[in-house]
A and B are shown apart, each in its own frame.
Chain A
């Protein structure tokens, strides 16, 4: 099976930049998506096709994908960005989610 690995947690100070990685074999050859899940809420699409933001998603969220690693970057992190973040990709016709990362804004 195909696995996507994320760090369990990332801490960031308000206004600083947070980077969350998602590692998988040849992930750069697939398209990565990112989802934000605030406590008690459903996931929400943040990034698709590695770098694209749906309408309404702030510009401070950006993505990249190369080699074996996709990265979600939060620039100018705000308190409201404290949440779980999940990467996701397709391995053929099978959907795969990453292990999830909790972002804490200290």
Chain B
């Protein structure tokens, strides 16, 4: 049973860089799955941020692409998210999730508990 655990600073200053880590346990990070980040501003819907494969291949949301970097460290079984030049609009709960590439339609079949990041001075 794969489990995902996000961690990182809960408070980031405006214009700074948001950094989060997702540790993958109970399964191989190098399996045939992509790993993704999704965020949810307070009281709002879900927004896809981007995804990464264990080879390092990435895809990003075009609306965030200029500010986002997703990386993978297979030795630590973790996926990382960096979002630069943050503003209050980036305040959200950030989720790490697994995309099951075996299932048709690439569903997000496993989610972390989420990490709240507030952007404020």
Q: Tell me if B62 and A97 are in contact (CB < 8 A).
A: no
Q: Tell me if A86 and B114 are in contact (CB < 8 A).
A: no
Q: Is B61 an interface residue (CB 8 A)?
A: yes
Q: Is A43 an interface residue (CB 8 A)?
A: yes
Q: Is B31 an interface residue (CB 8 A)?
A: no
Q: Tell me if B46 and A45 are in contact (CB < 8 A).
A: no
Task: Say yes or no: A95-B61 contact (C-beta < 8 A), given A43-B46, A86-B46.
Answer: yes
Which residues of B100-117 have CB atoms within 8 Å of chain A's CB atoms? 103-109, 111-114
Q: How large is the interface on A (under 10, 10 to 19, 20 to 34, 35 or more residues)?
A: 20 to 34
Q: How large is the interface on B (under 10, 10 to 19, 20 to 34, 35 or more residues)?
A: 20 to 34
Q: Nearest chain A CB to B40's CB is how many angstroms away?
A: 8
Which residues does chain B contribute within 8 Å of A27, judged by CB atoms? none
Q: Tell me if B113 and A42 are in contact (CB < 8 A).
A: yes
Please name the residue on chain A nearest to B58 by beta carbon: A93
Task: Say yes or no: A95-B36 contact (C-beta < 8 A), given A1-B63, A100-B45.
Answer: yes
Please name the residue on chain A nearest to B59 by beta carbon: A93
Which residues of B17-55 have CB atoms within 8 Å of chain A's CB atoms? 36, 38, 44-48, 51
Q: Is A35 an interface residue (CB 8 A)?
A: yes
Q: Which residues in A have some Cβ–Cβ distance to B below 8 Å?
A: 1, 31-33, 35, 42-45, 48-50, 52, 54, 86, 88-90, 93-100
19 contacts between A and B (CB under 8 A): A1-B63, A31-B105, A31-B106, A33-B105, A42-B95, A42-B113, A43-B46, A43-B111, A44-B111, A48-B107, A54-B109, A86-B46, A90-B105, A93-B59, A95-B38, A96-B48, A99-B45, A100-B44, A100-B46
